[in-house]
Amino acid sequence: MRLLLVDDETEFLEMMGKRLVHRGIDTAVADSGRKALDILDNREIDAVVLDVKMPGMDGLQVLQEIKRRKPGMVVVLLTGHADLDTAVQGMDSGAFDYLMKPVALEELLAKLHEAMDERQPLDSSA
Amino acid sequence: MSGLWSAFRRMISRSQAANDADEAFHASRLLERCQAFRKLLAANNQALGAMAAIDELAAGTEPFTMNQVRSLCTEVAVRVLQMVQQVEALAPGRYPGLEAAFRAIQQELADVLRREPGPSSEAPLIFDLQGVDCAMASVVGAKSANLGEAGRLGFRTPPGFAATTAAYALFMASDGLAEEIDRRIQAAGAKALDEAHALSSSLQQLVMRSALPESLALELNAACARLAERLETGEALRLAVRSSAVGEDGEAYSFAGQYRSVLNVGLEDVAAAYKEVIASKYGVTAMSYRLARGLRDEDAPMGVMVIHMVDAAAGGVAYTADPATGRCEHVFVHAVFGMPKAVVDGATESDVYRICREPLEIAMSCIGSKKTKLVLARGEGLAYEHSPGDVAGAPCLKPEQALEVARAALALERHFGAPQDVEWAFDREGRLFILQNRPLRMPETPMDYAELEVAQSDILLSDGVTASAGVGVGRPYIVRKQADALRLPKDAVLVVRNALPAWASLLDRASAVVAELGGAAGHLAAVAREMGTPALFGASGAIAALARAEVVTVDADRGVVLSGDRSQLLSRKPRSPRVMVGAPVHDALLRAARLTTPLSLIDPDSPLFDPGYFQSLHDVTRFCHEKAVEAMFAEDDDRRFPQASALRLSYQGKPLQYWVVDLGGGVSPAAPPADKNRSSRLDVEMVACRPFRALWRGMIELPWSGPPALDMRGFASVVAQAASNPDLEPGRSSAMAMRNYFLISDEFMSLQSRFGFHFCTVEALICPVSEENFASFQFKGGAADRGRRVRRARLLADVLEGYCFIAENREDSVVARLEGASVREMENALAMLGYLLIHTRQLDMVMADNARAEAEFKRLRRDIDIILSRNARRAVEETSWKNQGTAGSN
């Protein structure tokens, strides 16, 4: 699985990125929505873990843009700022799930595998 | 079910090769439904778990933060939304009002949780203290308001100004500072507050690094310049910058000593000192205090008081009552040389005067040895200075000065209407300044505590979890089925095997409820909490233990059931103080809980069981769950099994009337490769599917004694039925021609079968995540007359209910399911189903009357107990075998 981790908090990116790589997951990181979209345009990515609260383009905008460009992309929202409105908006915009920090690595991985499992048949028709 | 989709893809490609698109379609529908159902179950469990946590917080005995409330409610809403989506996937378009009804509640909940707008940043950023009184506490904070009020009363107070909560709001809003703080608090995990030093320091640094908004910086400078001009100090002006939070020093919350004061600050450092005071809001003690008292972050906006630094010759505090006992006969004055802060710090002894109120005179004075004193440091802050012995032992006040302080304190008490805690100082010219005054915290009277003394023999049950707190007394009444429920006496202790939602309607009649199975997160627990009925769940052996008991006392708090009426004894038991009740966080939680946890949709047969009657998100989960079960296990054409890629099962070399379709991972890699011939065989031993293996074990564990001995009428009834059943005509292509199919993967199994005249399906998922596991059993029909068929179906339902299943019986059909059980429990359940599949064949024929049914019931129960005990023994052996294996490899 090739994963893109998007969060404006570089400490989190570094720590989570390392742990994912240790688990054998090919992980790219981006510290802003713009960079995330650039990476998605230029690299093969299977799933995105996206922070909601970011300066500039926020997570929801990034989500909508990703879904516009690649409707089948798996996006899991991960936020440190629980907010019911954003959560529901995110799910409505096609997020696979909405998780809250702190998140256990195992939980995140399980979510991603589940998402990958579901995504593949859709892709094969695309 | 991981891997089911890839299994499905393999299946499709195989089917396409076999050119059987129909088969592929049905297999795909089944898999989609399993997937949707599994997601719904997981979401349901998560939603109920979060609701239980909300109910727990609502009790108000444990401290919590607004972030926790938001996280829990968001969790509930997201999971319920997922359930709504999955119901739509399972039954597209069938419940048009569902989503709108969910959205309406979710919207209301979002409104409750919305952050209250902070103090308006339209208000002035700075007030001169001369213009401040105690009515302005919400704008300038308590400390500034009290000191401003004291000044207006004519007490000498240091000149200065108050930076308002509007200034604070402006600072917090700049660059999203408040949101970033919120985010970091949540990301750190609210539970971890007691080890929150890292978080606290990160938040304080964040505040210190943030720049003050320009307008605020300008106004602070201008206010300082005006002060310097008034005092004619010029650049030499020294200031004290102190916290003045809203609610601080109030009667309800004291925040004593949690926020920082920066003393002896030069003009150039006022902005930094201001930020330092704001940052102290995120000190570890301050954060824990807000947590413990249920204050939201926005409940404690920070005003800051900036006053001229009095260069004190002596100072201290005065209390107009005894803070230890609350007695009001005397005023206590504590005094030291230099700055009064030394008294509070406890760094040195102080002189203590006990002063009578009326007439005002010193009743007692005690001169301490004040070896050090606090003085203004040369740069910023204060410094300790050593006092030589003769000075240290001298009184630092003249008697009339002590009386002057007491008189001022009493005047403040009279004005504010409550005992006061006053900080004061005499400057080098001997003028008395009031530096701070606040209500004195009085001690709370401690509660009586009586430890329960109960003989061991009086404890009937001590094994259960508190599903709803409280104590209830009554006669135990065991309810096994709905018919029993009708006879439940008022105020009895309801005792049930399963904590089913169906029992909710009994809770208002019961004094307490005890269930052998079920936990605090279930529907019934939620209803019990809502109705205030004490409930003890997971109390294994409760039915046996309470069957013959007379009056019992259920102490749900302690998880015990005692014989006799112990309410006297228990009522003296101190309840945990409900520290949160009345706190702003608690109020917000209750408003949110009202939209979240109460369950009003209880009876699925009621016309009110409809989205139009949703009152809470719990209602939505109940509805979604019910409708998902209905959609998942309803009979329809989609359930037909793929015929093409089936392998015929064989056991000990003999072919069976069972076929399997492997969706992937269901067959051991050691199996010989199947040829493409449809008649290819697969030995049962080669099936790797977990639920299948458990079911199979139950099927073969005990030998079938063959068709039961029939009575004449039973046989006649079969013959009569058969004669009128068109399915029995030879050569007719009918459902009867269908074989028994297993659809398997490593963790999933779906069996459709006809044994004789009855139709039966078993579906199960067994994976390590208990929440996702389920087993369902459906049974209908038979060959005998209606009365006998109905009796058999009822018998099956009774047996299944006795073993953790939720079973429903209508006419000759039974629908039963089990969810969320562990691997071990699931394997036991499937073994039991396997046994029942084999051993209830043709049982309908002998169900002539209820006596016979009762006898059969006992036989089935006995056999099942044998199977379960063998399973248990096997598990023990496996474990010890594994342990030996590990020991050997070490």
Q: Do B189 and A102 touch (CB under 8 A)?
A: yes
Is B573 within the bounds of a domain? no
- The DSSP call for residue B584 is H
Is B182 within the bounds of a domain? no
User: Which two three-digit tokens encode residue B238?
Assistant: 């020294």
For residue B323, give how far its alpha carbon lies from the nearest alpha carbon of chain A (Å): 42
Give the closest of A80, A84, A114 to B186, CB-based: A80
Is B775 within the bounds of a domain? yes
Residue B258 belongs to a domain with what CATH number?
3.30.1490.20
SS3 assignment for B383-450: EEEECCHHHHCCCCCCHHHHHHHHHHHHHHHHHHCCCEEEEEEEECCCCEEEEEEEECCCCCCCCCCC
State whether B109 and B130 are in the same domain.
no
State whether B696 and B606 are in the same domain.
no
Q: Do A117 and B6 touch (CB under 8 A)?
A: yes
What is the spatial distance between Cα A32 and Cα A27, in angstroms, rounded to a whole number? 16
Q: Do B186 and A53 touch (CB under 8 A)?
A: no
Run of H or E including B792: helix B786-802
| HSE-up of residue A6 (Cα within 13 Å, Cβ side) | 31
Among all chains, which residue has been given the structure tokens 């708090």?
A: B557
User: Which two three-digit tokens encode residue B4?
Assistant: 């089911």
Least confident span in A1-10, B142-151, B176-185: B176-185
- The residue type at B868: L
- Percentage of the residues of chain B whose pLDDT score is greater than 90: 28
A55: chain B residues, CB-CB within 8 Å: 176
**Rounded CA Rg of chain B:** 38
Q: Which whole number is the average pLDDT over B188-202? A: 65
Beta bridge partners, B337, equal: B314
Q: Which residue has the higher pLDDT, B617 or B631?
A: B617
From residue B55, give the alpha-carbon distance in Å to each of B521, B529, B592: 10, 7, 11
Q: Which residue has the higher pLDDT, B797 or B778?
A: B797
| Residue A71, preceding peptide bond in cis (omega within 30° of 0) | no
Query: How many domains, in total, are found in chain A?
Result: 1
From residue B378, give the alpha-carbon distance in Å to each of B36, B264, B266, B343, B384: 72, 9, 11, 21, 12
A12: chain B residues, CB-CB within 8 Å: 187
- B98: pLDDT strictly greater than 70: yes
For residue A42, give how far its alpha carbon lies from the nearest alpha carbon of chain B (Å): 28
Q: Which residue has the higher pLDDT, A51 or A120?
A: A51
Give the closest of A84, A102, A120 to B113, CB-based: A84
Which of helix, strand or coil describes residue B20? coil
Which of helix, strand or coil describes residue B269? helix
- B120: pLDDT strictly greater than 90: no
Structural domain boundaries, residue B521:
459-563
Is A42 within the bounds of a domain? yes
Instruction: Provide the strand spans (E) within A18-110.
Output: 26-30, 47-51, 74-79, 97-100
Interchain contact B74–A (C-beta under 8 A): yes
Q: Do B5 and A118 touch (CB under 8 A)?
A: yes
State whether B222 and B247 are in the same domain.
yes
B70: chain A residues, CB-CB within 8 Å: 82-84
What is the spatial distance between Cα B628 and Cα B92, in angstroms, rounded to a whole number? 11
Least confident span in A10-24, B122-136, B247-261, B798-812: B247-261
State whether B134 and B84 are in the same domain.
no
Is A102 within the bounds of a domain? yes
Most A CBs within 10 Å: which of B2, B5, B68, as the mutation test of the A interface?
A: B5
Q: Which of B230-234, B305-309, B714-718, B759-763 has the highest mean pLDDT?
A: B305-309
Interchain contact A114–B (C-beta under 8 A): yes
Give the closest of A12, A81, A121 to B8, CB-based: A121
From residue B479, give the alpha-carbon distance in Å to each of B497, B510, B522, B559, B645: 8, 12, 18, 20, 48
State whether B654 and B792 are in the same domain.
yes
> What integer pLDDT is reported at residue B671 of this predicted model?
76
Query: How far from each other are the two terminal CA atoms of chain B, in whole angstroms?
Result: 34
From residue B27, give the alpha-carbon distance in Å to each of B14, B562, B674: 12, 54, 20
- The residue type at B282: Y
Least confident span in B263-277, B724-738, B811-825: B724-738
Using the Cα atoms of residue B115, residue B117, residue B121 and residue B123 in order, give the sign of their dihedral.
Answer: negative
- How much is the mean pLDDT over chain B? 80
Is B449 within the bounds of a domain? no
User: A-B interface: how many C-beta pairs under 8 angstroms?
Assistant: 71
Is B787 within the bounds of a domain? yes
Interchain contact B35–A (C-beta under 8 A): yes
Q: Is B190 exposed, middle or buried (0-12, 13-18, 19+ CB in 10 A)?
A: middle
Neighbours of B130 (CB within 10 A): 12
Q: Which whole number is the average pLDDT over B519-538? A: 76
What is the spatial distance between Cα B65 and Cα B55, in angstroms, rounded to a whole number? 15
- B195: pLDDT strictly greater than 60: no
Q: Which of B121-125, B305-309, B849-853 has the highest mean pLDDT?
A: B305-309
- At residue B325 the predicted structure's pLDDT band, cuts being 50, 70 and 90, is low
Query: How far from each other are the two terminal CA atoms of chain A, in whole angstroms?
Result: 19
- B27: pLDDT strictly greater than 70: no
| Residue A102, preceding peptide bond in cis (omega within 30° of 0) | yes
Query: How many domains, in total, are found in chain B?
Result: 5
Interchain contact A82–B (C-beta under 8 A): yes
State whether B541 and B653 are in the same domain.
no
Interchain contact B5–A (C-beta under 8 A): yes
Is A125 within the bounds of a domain? no
What is the spatial distance between Cα A37 and Cα A50, in angstroms, rounded to a whole number? 11
- Which residue in chain A has the smallest CA separation from B38? A114
- The residue type at A111: K
pLDDT, tens only, A91-121: 999 999 999 887 878 888 888 888 887 765 4
pLDDT, tens only, B489-502: 888 999 998 887 77
State whether B814 and B873 are in the same domain.
yes
User: Which two three-digit tokens encode residue B424?
Assistant: 């004061």
Q: Is B510 exposed, middle or buried (0-12, 13-18, 19+ CB in 10 A)?
A: buried
State whether B872 and B843 are in the same domain.
yes
Q: Which residue has the higher pLDDT, B783 or A51?
A: A51
Q: Do B78 and A113 touch (CB under 8 A)?
A: no
- B636: pLDDT strictly greater than 60: no
Run of H or E including A118: helix A105-125
Run of H or E including B307: strand B302-308
For residue B19, give how far its alpha carbon lies from the nearest alpha carbon of chain A (Å): 18
Is A108 within the bounds of a domain? yes
pLDDT, tens only, B449-484: 234 556 777 888 887 788 888 889 999 999 887 677
User: Which two three-digit tokens encode residue B273?
Assistant: 């000192």
> What integer pLDDT is reported at residue A66 of this predicted model?
96
Q: Which residue has the higher pLDDT, B217 or B722?
A: B217
Give the closest of B77, B184, B189 to A84, CB-based: B77
Most A CBs within 10 Å: which of B78, B112, B202, B747, as the mutation test of the A interface?
A: B78
What is the complex's ipTM, to 2 decimals? 0.80
B82: chain A residues, CB-CB within 8 Å: 91, 97
State whether B280 and B138 are in the same domain.
yes
Interchain contact A10–B (C-beta under 8 A): no
What is the spatial distance between Cα B386 and Cα B369, in angstroms, rounded to a whole number? 12
- Could you tell me whether strands A26-30 and A47-51 are parallel, antiparallel, or unpaired per DSSP bridges? unpaired
A87: chain B residues, CB-CB within 8 Å: 74, 77-78
Using the Cα atoms of residue B526, residue B532, residue B533 and residue B534 in order, give the sign of their dihedral.
Answer: positive
For residue B686, give how far its alpha carbon lies from the nearest alpha carbon of chain A (Å): 26
Is B543 within the bounds of a domain? yes
> What integer pLDDT is reported at residue B412 of this predicted model?
93
- B80: pLDDT strictly greater than 60: yes
Interchain contact B4–A (C-beta under 8 A): yes
Among all chains, which residue has been given the structure tokens 């706190």?
A: B583
> What integer pLDDT is reported at residue B738 of this predicted model?
43
pLDDT, tens only, A28-39: 999 999 999 999
Is A124 within the bounds of a domain? no
> What integer pLDDT is reported at residue B723 of this predicted model?
40
- B71: pLDDT strictly greater than 80: yes
State whether B609 and B747 are in the same domain.
no
Contact yes or no for B350/B336 (Cβ under 8 A): yes
Residue B497 belongs to a domain with what CATH number?
3.50.30.10
> What integer pLDDT is reported at residue B882 of this predicted model?
64
> What integer pLDDT is reported at residue B620 of this predicted model?
95
Interchain contact B78–A (C-beta under 8 A): yes
Contact yes or no for B71/B53 (Cβ under 8 A): no
> What integer pLDDT is reported at residue B849 of this predicted model?
79
Q: Which whole number is the average pLDDT over B543-552? A: 90
User: Which two three-digit tokens encode residue B472?
Assistant: 């209830």
Residue B824 neighbours by CB under 8 Å, 6+ apart: B875
State whether B243 and B346 are in the same domain.
no
- Which residue in chain A has the smallest CA separation from B115? A83
Q: Which of B581, B66, B141 is nearest to B298 (CA)?
A: B66
B186: chain A residues, CB-CB within 8 Å: 80-82, 100-101
User: Which two three-digit tokens encode residue B263?
Assistant: 């003393």
Q: Which of B627, B634, B620, B621 is nearest to B604 (CA)?
A: B627
State whether B266 and B324 are in the same domain.
no
Is B847 within the bounds of a domain? yes
Least confident span in A91-95, B290-294, B305-309: B290-294
What is the spatial distance between Cα B684 and Cα B676, in angstroms, rounded to a whole number? 19
Q: Which whole number is the average pLDDT over B562-589? A: 67
- B733: pLDDT strictly greater than 60: no
> What integer pLDDT is reported at residue B122 of this predicted model?
64
Is A126 within the bounds of a domain? no
- The DSSP call for residue B378 is S
Is A67 within the bounds of a domain? yes
Structural domain boundaries, residue A7:
2-118
Which of helix, strand or coil describes residue B342? helix
Residue A63 belongs to a domain with what CATH number?
3.40.50.2300
Least confident span in B93-107, B355-369, B440-454, B845-859: B440-454
